[in-house]
A and B are shown apart, each in its own frame.
Chain A
Amino acid sequence: MMRHLISAADLTRDDAVLILDTAEEMARVADRPIKKLPTLRGRTICNLFFEDSTRTRISFEAAEKRLSADVINFAAKGSSVSKGESLKDTAQTLEAMGVDAVVIRHSASGAPYRLATSGWIDAPVINAGDGTHQHPTQALLDAFTMRRRLVGRDAGLGQDLAGKRITLVGDVLHSRVARSNVDLLHTLGAEVTLVAPPTLVPVGVETWPCAVSYDLDSVLPKSDAVMMLRVQRERMNAAFFPTEREYSRRYGLDGDRMAKMPEHAIVMHPGPMVRGMEITAEVADSDRCTVVEQVANGVSIRMAVLYLLLGGNESQTTRTEEK
């Protein structure tokens, strides 16, 4: 395994499958009466959130606590972080406090990479979402959800997503979820298609390992999973599309559209959902929609990542005991 988790693109197929398999083991912990493993006892993990995300932070925190780690939550919002130097300052403070890993969320693309490579800090860095760049644990939990649903919980062990057809719909341009998913799903052997209005597809997308379509209806019948991406309402004012109504008419997922998907196909969403515009209540509440499972799987995936980056290493265990 690698030292940091910055980008889904850094994962090999075997790394990714190992994480998914490990997450299956971790998921079993959730079924026990005492949902805790002693693996990271004595280790301190800092959740360094420069951008608000209660969902992601709670998911990491739950994972850390189930592995018995000590948790420091650092929310930089509201403090004086407008000046760029504060990332470095904060990192060095954490380093001085002997933090064993940093989970970082930042509004600037590349901030976790900078943190991991600038020599400001020695601890492993886990990217919990940076700007419009990457959100690798989200991609892993999505892949985990797909493998469970499309291959099977036990049958999936050791398997990837070879030949599965995955469609991502919506604001690809601003989506770190889309970037991470394209990278990881391709690594896992899936065929990925992005569907969006041309204004929401980045210039340069032609080098990505995926197909691009502007026509949702033609892609749906050939999809094993359809992942809806979040579309922020303010995009409308920036003329990415004319009206919410027109967007949802062309790219929203409603019952009629869902009916065009193969019977086994699932609907995914990273949440929180904007009901009405991108997904109707009928779809969101159907049993083909995996939003709630994705949340639960997120904890298992993050446990697996923390375990593999921090737990499995003998020399690090020794170091902890010496403390």
Chain B
Amino acid sequence: MSKILIRGAKVLGGEAQDVLIDGETIAEVGTDLSAEGATVIEAEGRILLPGLVDLHTHLREPGREDSETVLTGTRAAASGGYTAVFAMANTFPVADTAGVVEQVYRLGKESGYCDVQPIGAVTVGLEGKKLAELGAMHDSAAGVTVFSDDGKCVDDAVIMRRALEYVKAFGGVVAQHAQEPRLTEGAQMNEGVVSAELGLGGWPAVAEESIIARDVLLAEHVGSRVHICHLSTAGSVEIVRWAKSRGIDVTAEVTPHHLLLTDELVRSYNPVYKVNPPLRTERDVMALREALADGTIDIVATDHAPHPHEDKDCEWAAAAMGMVGLETALSVVQETMVETGLLDWAGVADRMSVKPAQIGQAKGHGRPVSAGEPANLTLVDPAYRGAVDPAGFASRSRNTPYEGRELPGRVTHTFLRGRATVVDGKLA
């Protein structure tokens, strides 16, 4: 492998420095490094971050290759600056056995754009009744450490307790999609002023908050670690804050869209805004931003949920839930967190790379930008301004809520173990 010299980038938003990549690792970080034998990238004004890590991605393969495949999904991830993604288990068949997780893992290796770490289902078929073979998935070639029935809530308190206890044997974590099922029957959007007016079934905040409250108490009782997926309400933030102050081992994520969009957008009845958990109110959005800034919420995760056009080009009630997010996540975080002064770039590196890698135990990711570390890196041009054009997406699906919206920042380069997967904003 050849040498690459990234010249004059602000490492984690700090002082401009040169970074020399040699083979798969960072050889040197400093000023006025020699460019001899190296390809030079002039990176003045750009930000260099450790490669982003997404703990919550839906790659749809196996089963819904019309929406996304491991290849198209990892290409989208690389375009968005990611070097590792965790693939959710709600595929067809469900990733609830060693065989399925190994298949996804192998497809990730073959794609070469991004490391793919499969997430295993907590229960067989995501049915919430019987624990899946968690140990076998961990012991498989995929080495699963994160387990989730995402898309569905592990709502049975006993099953949730057992799962939390069981994964302690191999240091795993259960990632909960917090949604009390009875309270959300027929739910179409956030329950509140807008749902009352539009006559759409309400998804009350308490349906999320009550499960989070229960699960942090369970985690405390059995001494386990729990991760809460896509927090969306101000009340959820308060519960997690309380749990952390009490010493409970809980981590939490927020999606970019919950940091930016509100349920007011549902007035358009445009299903591109239909997502689970639903878009909430302005007050919730502000609480989530504050919580991400102060560390109550540990990470940003995309919940990248690709759907084909026909599943969204219909009336609201019939539409699928979810939005694509890999290719716009960093821009949304720049707009909502960096440009508002809530978080600096080092903070972005922490919330989008370091912490998610730690929670998911993604080896070689989320590491410091220093000599001897794996060269998993993302170079960002924060001055860029442009409207989002889904036609240019690498993802097979185009269900973005940001079409035509101007968002700041652009990933110019992504490096996976020293190899460029994105060069000048284009897939390599």
Chain A residues with CB under 8 Å of B315's CB are 84, 87, 106, 108, 110-111, 114
B317 interface residue (CB < 8 Å to A): yes
Given A84-B315, A109-B316, answer yes or no on A205-B196 (Cβ-Cβ < 8 Å). Answer: yes
Query: Could you say which of A84, A203, A208 contacts B318, with CB atoms under 8 Å apart?
Result: A84
- Write the A82-112 contact mask toward B (1 if CB under 8 angstroms, else 0): 0111011000000000000000001111110
- Write the A176-192 contact mask toward B (1 if CB under 8 angstroms, else 0): 10010000000000000
Whether A132 pairs with B199 at a CB distance below 8 angstroms is yes
Whether A109 pairs with B198 at a CB distance below 8 angstroms is yes
B314 and chain A: residue at smallest CB distance: A84
> CA separation between A133 and B188, bound complex, in Å?
13
Chain A residues with CB under 8 Å of B270's CB are 114
Minimum C-beta distance from B195 to chain A (A)? 6
B384 interface residue (CB < 8 Å to A): no
Whether B199 pairs with A179 at a CB distance below 8 angstroms is yes
B194 interface residue (CB < 8 Å to A): yes
B277 interface residue (CB < 8 Å to A): no
Q: Which of B191, B311, B314 gathers the greatest number of chain A CB atoms within 10 Å? A: B314
A201 and chain B: residue at smallest CB distance: B196
Chain B residues with CB under 8 Å of A84's CB are 311, 314-315, 317-319
Q: Which parts of B266-322 form the interface with A (CB within 8 Å)?
A: 268-270, 310-311, 313-319
Query: Could you say which of B196, B198, B318 contacts A207, with CB atoms under 8 Å apart?
Result: B196
Given A84-B319, A203-B204, A204-B194, answer yes or no on A133-B313 (Cβ-Cβ < 8 Å). Answer: no
A131 and chain B: residue at smallest CB distance: B199
A134 interface residue (CB < 8 Å to B): yes
Query: Could you say which of B196, B200, B202, B311 contacts A110, with CB atoms under 8 Å apart?
Result: B200
- Write the B195-218 contact mask toward A (1 if CB under 8 angstroms, else 0): 111111010100000000000000
A247 interface residue (CB < 8 Å to B): no
Whether A179 pairs with B204 at a CB distance below 8 angstroms is no
Minimum C-beta distance from B179 to chain A (A)? 17
Whether B314 pairs with A88 at a CB distance below 8 angstroms is yes
Chain B residues with CB under 8 Å of A110's CB are 198, 200, 269, 315-317
Chain A residues with CB under 8 Å of B372's CB are none
Minimum C-beta distance from B308 to chain A (A)? 11
Whether B318 pairs with A83 at a CB distance below 8 angstroms is yes
A113 interface residue (CB < 8 Å to B): yes
> CA separation between A117 and B270, bound complex, in Å?
10
Chain A residues with CB under 8 Å of B318's CB are 83-85, 87, 108
B193 interface residue (CB < 8 Å to A): yes
Whether B316 pairs with A114 at a CB distance below 8 angstroms is yes
Chain A residues with CB under 8 Å of B195's CB are 202-204
Minimum C-beta distance from B309 to chain A (A)? 10
B205 and chain A: residue at smallest CB distance: A203
> CA separation between A18 and B188, bound complex, in Å?
36
B192 interface residue (CB < 8 Å to A): yes
Whether B198 pairs with A133 at a CB distance below 8 angstroms is yes
Whether B199 pairs with A109 at a CB distance below 8 angstroms is yes
Chain A residues with CB under 8 Å of B313's CB are 85, 88, 118
A179 and chain B: residue at smallest CB distance: B199
- Write the A41-85 contact mask toward B (1 if CB under 8 angstroms, else 0): 000000000000000000000000000000000000000000111
> CA separation between A70 and B193, bound complex, in Å?
41
Chain A residues with CB under 8 Å of B196's CB are 202-205, 207-208
Chain A residues with CB under 8 Å of B269's CB are 109-110, 113-114, 117
Whether A85 pairs with B197 at a CB distance below 8 angstroms is no
Minimum C-beta distance from B9 to chain A (A)? 44
Q: Which parts of B135-192 form the interface with A (CB within 8 Å)?
A: 188, 191-192
Chain A residues with CB under 8 Å of B311's CB are 84
Minimum C-beta distance from A170 to chain B (A)? 16
> CA separation between A133 and B389, bound complex, in Å?
33
Whether A133 pairs with B193 at a CB distance below 8 angstroms is no
Chain B residues with CB under 8 Å of A85's CB are 310, 313-314, 318
> CA separation between A190 and B196, bound complex, in Å?
21
Whether B316 pairs with A108 at a CB distance below 8 angstroms is yes
Q: Which residues of A contact B (CB under 8 A)?
A: 83-85, 87-88, 106-111, 113-114, 117-118, 130-134, 176, 179, 202-208
- A-B contacts, 14 of them at CB < 8 A, read A83-B314, A84-B311, A84-B318, A87-B318, A110-B269, A114-B316, A131-B199, A132-B200, A134-B199, A203-B192, A204-B192, A204-B195, A204-B196, A206-B193
The 5 tightest CB contacts between A and B, nearest first, are A84-B318, A84-B314, A204-B196, A133-B199, A110-B269
Extra contacts, 10 of them, besides A117-B269, A133-B200 (Cβ < 8 A), are A85-B314, A87-B314, A87-B318, A109-B316, A110-B316, A132-B200, A176-B199, A203-B202, A204-B191, A204-B197
